[in-house]
Structure 1
Amino acid sequence: MYGEPALPATLESLPYADPQAPKGGTIRFAEPGGFDSLKPWVLKGNAAWGVGVHVAEPLMLRSIDEPFTLYCLLCETVDTDPDRSWVEFTLRPEARFSDGTPVTAEDVIWSFQTLGTQGHPRYAGAWAKVARIAPVGARGIRIEFAEKDRELPLLMGMRPVLKQAQWEGKDFAASSLDPPIGSGAYVVDRVDPGRSISFRRNPDYWGRDLPLTRGLYNFDSIRYDYFADSNAMSQAFKAGEIDVWRELNGVKWATEYDFPAIASGAVVKEDIPHQRPSGIMGLVMNTRSPMFADWRVRQAMILAFNYRFINATLAGGSDPRIASYFSNSTLAMQPGPATGREAELLAPFAAGLPPGTIEGYALPQGSDRLLDRTALREAVGLLAEAGWTVGADGILRNADGAPFAPEILLNQSGSAMRAGSEVQQIVDIYVEALKPLGIAPRVTLLDSAQYIERTNRFAFDMTWYERGLSLSPGNEQALYWGIASADQEGSKNWMGVRSPAVDAMIAEAVNATDLDGHVAAVRALDRLLTAGRYVIPVSYPQVSRIAHAARLRHPQRLPIYGDWPGFLPEVWWSEPPAPAD
């Protein structure tokens, strides 16, 4: 995205892969909930994890040892102009789908058009900026852009390429359990809908001899088993039915890993460091709900959330709190007032920004007791200013007499970063802390399918929210919190952000011509989101805690993103069993 690629055109392998890694063996993962689709590229259905990762390939492969750099995979060359107003890809002549048919320019063009018009909403934003896409010669594709956006050539390079012939005469937007045909290293092997899916390494994978893929895709089989919740997943791991477990609780990591497989050496623990931003995680407030339209109400809810007590009670205070969306990185907003270019970018919007955006905003410190009475008194004042007062019945109401009783929607299976039981514990403590304010939330627990359906259409007041962020934020930010995504079902803008300032900072970030300009725009964006008071943030782990079968290995050289898509299982392998005496 900025500067030059770190790796030369003559690279022998990715720096975090081992070209000598042995091939073979199986790796087994656990996933919460279930699935009813093998199409992760559309909104309908609950797709099985792994299909989009293992089966389909993009034109270019991302290196997770650089903030945002792509290298040619399906394509042989890529060309663009200094303004990045167009991009041309030339396909490798040897590129093949798993059925042996060649990957053609027509497949690429059809894939991009179909994803952009019938696929998941995450593809629509970039596609709307495409003015023209057409074949060039026998193996080329030229894409011209209708808007200035320096990230678009990279986004086109990351789009999955599907086989057009497989979907002819079918409704692409519909959910389906038909195994898709891709050009990736794996094919769908066995499917037990809702319960398990396995992928088999394709011995005829077209890209197996590319320098870029040396040391990747080492397992013969990758299996995902689905469980009702995180507790069942954890027990399956301890019983040896699963090979990998990511521990999200620092206290458990330190005190509860004494089960027999650890003692025998069959399972080992590893801390995987990383340099990526914290992202955002916690309880999100839906500003589409009239209860949360006012920033003062959202600040009151943040004040009532006594993070210090919750973190000490549930996690022993082991992990730091998320201070802003890009904490733990150079992209994070700095303490105090905005300065320099960052301040210049925010200045035109100053009159309409919540307090603290430009001057500086920090989360409340909290108390070591359940109730932070100082913070609650401040919350009462803010709620009164916003028109909410406690009546004689002890219930917080507005001028029309309507009670402040938000619904907190939870997924009983948990999330990628928090077990369902842990989220429930956090919410239970929070509900108790809200009682002195006259607030009695309704907590609704749903299965995964119901939860996805509700959150896709933003049918909640509050819910648990997680969004991982990269070292090179760009167009995806518009899907997370841009104006256009606020009413787009299936987007990640669960809080309903509608801010011209946010959209302007995203545009500035993707069109910056150097790293300093990009950092200034992202820091300004970080201020807008954090001071917007949309999420009540919790803690984040500064390392990934991975327990795994001792036979599983990875290179010593770790990428800057750490445990990130492209690391596990891509560069891992299984040690062959020792020969019998």
Structure 2
Amino acid sequence: MLNLPVITLRFSTKLLTAIGCTLAVLSASVPADSVQVAHGISMHGDLKYPPGFKHFDYVNPKAPKGGQVIQSAIGTFDSFNQFIVKGNAADGLGLIYDTLLSRALDEPFSLYGLLAESIEVPNNRSWIIFNLRPTATFSDNHPLTAEDVVFSFNLLRTEGAPFYKSYYADIDKIEALNPHRVKFTFKNTLNRELALIVGEVPILAKHYWQDKAFQKPSLDIPVGSGPYTIDSFDAGRSITYKRNPNYWAKELPVKVGYNNFDTLIFDYYRDGTVALEAFKAGEYDFRQENSSKRWATSYSGNAFDDGRIKTAELEHQNPTGMQAFVINNRREQFADPRVRRALALAFDFEWTNKNIFFNAYTRTHSFFSNSEMAATELPTPEELAILEPVRDQVPPEVFTQVYKAPETKGDGKIYTQLREARRLLQDAGWIFKAGKLVNAETGKQLSIEMLLYSPAFERVVSPFIRNLERLGIKANIRLIDVSQYIARLRSYDFDIVVSGFGQSSSPGNEQRDYWHSSSANKEGSRNLIGIQNPAIDYLVDQLIQSPNREQLVYRTRALDRVLQWNHYVIPQYHINKYRVAYWDKFEMPNIRPKYDLGFNTWWIKPEKDVK
């Protein structure tokens, strides 16, 4: 989706890329306390794959194993612990961990047994029991038991990133009923997604972590239960993963056809331009491109002409969420929504798309773009009923207008937009004095620092800054390295940054970390905007408590409208394709997953496994 590199904070498997939901086995006609035993779980529909299925449709169960794959990473790393706020975690660490359940990439959000061979859950989802596989082991051959599950959740919620505490706040207790049976009891029956998302947390080895300083970044190689182990590393420069030949789950239906590469290496580069040149020189094998300019102009040369490098645009059905200029509402100068709206009028997307992006992108108007949950029409009666309790706390446009980000003709002449911006700024208490926009009370000029870590984004921000200067605003770009950038994001030390709010096809508990007041001042949360709005708190809670898919759609649209009309961000753009380039050594399954690139289902052609 993202046009240029965007740093976001990494937490669990449902972040960034978590999708959807449907709980298959339960029927509305079943009594609330009726317990079902099943091989998988979803939220509002049926599981695609029946008990005893052999493998997912989008894999090749006969894919050959072997070979080495090198990929790029940007910046540096100083930690193998991705579960805490401190430090820069290495890429690929998810490869060394397993979860209780595994997600099917061709369903919106269905989960099937991995560490757990079956689940037990009542119709009201007040609790869930996971029956663990007795064969599950860690990479050091130590058995994985219910004690490890309890330990993992307690550790993450008390010492992990703030995300874990808020995301799993509705867990009442976790009990190891016996060595292979663990029960989660929930505080209420309103958070129906919780029975699913507890199945997505990486399970840590108690015998490894219990005597470690968990909150301290470390390059000690951790013990995991996943398909790969860390083989070697050059601190800050490269990390190598080896496929574990004794991986306990390699024959399970959810793992057949996956993890076909023997060795995975991530080499680090200082920026995207250097990384691309290294790729073209054959220094690594596969890359996803997020710059439209590079995609249109830089993928050429002999290796492309003779077919040694392949390029492809692979469509997906994922919601694209919101990429935007994120305005830090904690800053006093941005507290008034009229100021934020005025800033949005100074961003000329149409000119940018035409002159910089080769018309490759679609303007984003919704926080849930490319999905049925985007508010793109006037509210329905069902949505109005949801919004009515907060009518006096939200902008009136929520009820009467459809939000659209400001539009221009694309010719660079945005006089009308700038006149409207000046009016809004004056209404908000700013005046023009000697060519400067100053506060009517303090006389201080409105100033904005655009915080970036990628030089490539300067070409997007510079025209925007010129328009802001035409409004009398003092604006500048501050370019810093990745480590500093992440640290400043975590402590909310910025005016405006470019970031994204990824969404799933079934939004849920992560919305609390994005928008809820409780996350606004927690270091490392994803509430970068700093939203503290009782109406939004109410709508987030309503969304999480959605009793069915229909209500989830209505409640998400209601939340979307209130976020849109508060002008918290300056929307940018999206694309519904993966743009990939790779050296001609790979093959992929005939059927692609709908909701993921599925690179971990590819394999290397044995005859092409050469440098």
- Tell whether the structures are fold-level matches, with TM greater than 0.5: yes
Please tell me the root mean square deviation across aligned C-alpha atoms, in Å. Answer: 1.5
1:459 aligned to 493, 500, 507, which one?
Answer: 493
Q: Give how far 1:139 is off.
A: 0.9
Aligned to 2:606: 576
Is 1:363 aligned to residue 405 of structure 2? yes
2:502 aligned to 440, 445, 468, which one?
Answer: 468
Query: Residue 276 of structure 2 aligns to which amino acid in structure 1?
Result: S
Q: Give how far 1:400 is off.
A: 1.0
What are the residue-to-residue correspondences of 1:379-398 with 2, within 5 Å? Answer: 379-398=421-440
User: Matched residue of 2:570: which SS?
Assistant: strand
Aligned to 1:71: 112
Is 1:18 aligned to residue 63 of structure 2? no
Aligned to 2:31: none
Q: Give how far 1:454 is off.
A: 0.5
1:485 aligned to 519, 523, 539, which one?
Answer: 519
Structure 1 stretches (4+) deviating beyond 4 angstroms?
none
Q: Give how far 1:168 is off.
A: 2.4
1:175 aligned to 217, 227, 238, which one?
Answer: 217
1:121 aligned to 157, 162, 168, which one?
Answer: 162
Is 1:104 aligned to residue 134 of structure 2? no
Is 1:142 aligned to residue 176 of structure 2? no
Aligned to 1:220: 262
What are the residue-to-residue correspondences of 1:153-302 with 2, within 5 Å? Answer: 153-302=195-344
Change (3 A) 1:289 1:354: same
Is 1:433 aligned to residue 493 of structure 2? no
Q: Give how far 1:44 is off.
A: 0.9
Aligned to 1:85: 126
Output the CA distance in 1 between the equivalents of 2:397 and 2:286. Answer: 43
Q: Give how far 1:355 is off.
A: 4.3
The question of whether the paired residues in 1 share the 8 Å contact of 2:585 and 2:609 is answered with no
Output the CA distance in 1 between the equivalents of 2:603 and 2:166. Answer: 37
1:131 aligned to 169, 172, 183, which one?
Answer: 172
The question of whether the paired residues in 2 share the 8 Å contact of 1:2 and 1:513 is answered with no
Q: Give how far 1:436 is off.
A: 1.5
What are the residue-to-residue correspondences of 1:525-536 with 2, within 5 Å? Answer: 525-536=559-570
Aligned to 2:363: 321
Query: Which stretch shifts more, 518-527 or 250-259?
Result: 250-259
1:45 aligned to 81, 87, 91, which one?
Answer: 87
2:379 aligned to 326, 338, 361, which one?
Answer: 338
The question of whether the paired residues in 2 share the 8 Å contact of 1:77 and 1:89 is answered with yes
Output the CA distance in 2 between the equivalents of 1:8 and 1:24. Answer: 30
Output the CA distance in 2 between the equivalents of 1:326 and 1:525. Answer: 10
Output the CA distance in 2 between the equivalents of 1:176 and 1:511. Answer: 38
Is 1:56 aligned to residue 90 of structure 2? no
Q: List per-residue Cα deviations over 1:471-490 (Å, max 9, x = no partner).
A: 11110111111111111110
The question of whether the paired residues in 1 share the 8 Å contact of 2:584 and 2:608 is answered with no
Instruction: Give me the identity figure in percent.
Output: 37
Aligned to 1:348: 389
Change (3 A) 1:15 1:504: farther
Is 1:549 aligned to residue 590 of structure 2? no
User: Matched residue of 2:131: which SS?
Assistant: strand
Output the CA distance in 1 between the equivalents of 2:446 and 2:66. Answer: 58
Query: Which stretch shifts more, 118-127 or 301-310?
Result: 118-127
Query: Which stretch shifts more, 273-282 or 396-405?
Result: 396-405
Output the CA distance in 1 between the equivalents of 2:370 and 2:608. Answer: 42
Query: Residue 91 of structure 1 aligns to which amino acid in structure 2?
Result: L
Output the CA distance in 2 between the equivalents of 1:343 and 1:317. Answer: 36
Q: Give how far 1:247 is off.
A: 1.9
Query: Residue 176 of structure 1 aligns to which amino acid in structure 2?
Result: S
The question of whether the paired residues in 1 share the 8 Å contact of 2:101 and 2:114 is answered with yes
Output the CA distance in 2 between the equivalents of 1:259 and 1:541. Answer: 26
Query: Residue 241 of structure 1 aligns to which amino acid in structure 2?
Result: E
Q: Give how far 1:112 is off.
A: 0.6
The question of whether the paired residues in 1 share the 8 Å contact of 2:313 and 2:577 is answered with yes
TM-score, normalization by structure 2? 0.90
User: Matched residue of 1:478: which SS?
Assistant: helix
Q: List per-residue Cα deviations over 1:62-81 (Å, max 9, x = no partner).
A: 11211111111001111111
Aligned to 1:509: 543
Change (3 A) 1:262 1:163: same
2:482 aligned to 448, 465, 486, which one?
Answer: 448
Change (3 A) 1:162 1:578: closer
Q: List per-residue Cα deviations over 1:228-252 (Å, max 9, x = no partner).
A: 0000111111111111121223454
Q: Give how far 1:370 is off.
A: 2.7
User: Matched residue of 2:223: which SS?
Assistant: coil
Q: Give how far 1:578 is off.
A: 6.2
Q: Give how far 1:114 is off.
A: 0.2
Which consecutive unaligned segments of at least 5 residues does structure 1 have?
415-419
Output the CA distance in 2 between the equivalents of 1:69 and 1:559. Answer: 13
Query: Which stretch shifts more, 25-34 or 496-505?
Result: 496-505
The question of whether the paired residues in 1 share the 8 Å contact of 2:167 and 2:512 is answered with no
Output the CA distance in 2 between the equivalents of 1:509 and 1:368. Answer: 37
TM-score, normalization by structure 1? 0.95
Output the CA distance in 2 between the equivalents of 1:455 and 1:251. Answer: 27
Query: Residue 542 of structure 1 aligns to which amino acid in structure 2?
Result: N
Output the CA distance in 1 between the equivalents of 2:384 and 2:580. Answer: 41
Query: Which stretch shifts more, 172-181 or 362-371?
Result: 362-371
Output the CA distance in 1 between the equivalents of 2:396 and 2:495. Answer: 23
Which consecutive unaligned segments of at least 5 residues does structure 2 have?
1-42
The question of whether the paired residues in 2 share the 8 Å contact of 1:11 and 1:212 is answered with no
Aligned to 1:417: none
User: Matched residue of 1:492: which SS?
Assistant: coil
Query: Residue 575 of structure 1 aligns to which amino acid in structure 2?
Result: K
